[in-house]
Amino acid sequence: MPSRFMSTIVLPRLNEWYERYPETQVELSATDFRINPIEESVDFIIRVGELSSSDLIARPLGAVQMVNCVSKHYIQTYGTPTSLESLSNHMMIHYAVGSKAIQCEFEYVEKKTVKVVQMNYKLTVNSTDAYLHGCLNGMGIVQIPKQGVRDYLLKGDLVEILPEYTCAAMPVSILYASRKHMPQRVLYFMDWICENFKASLSQD
């Protein structure tokens, strides 16, 4: 599952699971790369974004609302972006997963149409944790799920910018091959994961 989901949704609640099932052993894997649970021999995966057609079973868990953020340190150094036009004077942190080269873009939805602004950048990362911490350290603008940065926004470590120009919400799903041959304890854990994701994502 994406690393930010593990650290903000699963790990803070994992003791609740062990209180119910103290004899179980749990193996969690955090990755921001897309994997196939069958090829990787894992019971299920959490995926963010639109799903491509496959033989996997998908259960929707909700959606993550996106937010544009910078740190206080960034604002002190570069000022606050106040319009799309002003973005040409700012930097974004480039998030790129996989070998395919993509442009660094500020994405937003206007009248149900996705639009982009090409951005300057100095830093490219391939993990959501690095993306967040790069922002916290004043290295650029990020467009990030609000669920994972609520506390930073409340404390003032991060500041929301251009709220009228946000990305579309991104669906979150759990994918698995089949429940038919899953051990009962895995089924229980998967259902517990689903409950926690739905509860957390519904807060936005």
pLDDT at 34 over 80: no
CB atoms within 10 A of CB 157: 15
State what percent of residues in the chain have pLDDT above 70.
97
Confidence grade of residue 38 (pLDDT, cut at 50, 70, 90): confident
Can you tell me the distance from the alpha carbon of 199 to that of 204, in angstroms, rounded to the nearest whole number? Answer: 10
Q: What is the pLDDT of residues 149-190, one digit of tens each?
A: 999 999 999 999 999 999 999 999 999 988 788 889 999 999
The pairing of beta strand 170-176 with beta strand 45-48: antiparallel
pLDDT score at 99: 54
pLDDT at 53 over 90: no
3-state SS assignment for residue 154? helix
pLDDT at 67 over 70: yes
pLDDT score at 31: 83
Quote the mean pLDDT of the chain.
91
Cα end-to-end distance, the chain, whole Å:
20
Q: What is the pLDDT of residues 113-145, one digit of tens each?
A: 999 999 999 999 988 899 999 999 999 999 999
Q: What single-letter DSSP state applies at residue 10?
A: I
* Protein fold of 66-160: D-Maltodextrin-Binding Protein; domain 2 (3.40.190)
Is 66-160 in the same CATH topology as 3-63+169-201? yes
Q: Which amino acid is at 96?
A: A
pLDDT at 98 over 70: no
Least confident of 60-64, 105-109, 125-129, 138-142: 125-129
Burial 44-72 (b: 16+ CB within 10 A, else e): bbbbbeeeeeeebeeeebbbbbbbbbbbe
3-state SS assignment for residue 171? strand
Can you tell me the distance from the alpha carbon of 87 to that of 183, in angstroms, rounded to the nearest whole number? Answer: 52
Can you tell me the distance from the alpha carbon of 160 to that of 14, in angstroms, rounded to the nearest whole number? Answer: 30
The class (CATH top level) of 3-63+169-201 is alpha beta
pLDDT score at 116: 94
The pTM assigned to this predicted structure is 0.84
The pairing of beta strand 94-95 with beta strand 124-125: parallel
pLDDT score at 40: 80
Sequence spans of domains, the chain:
3-63+169-201, 66-160
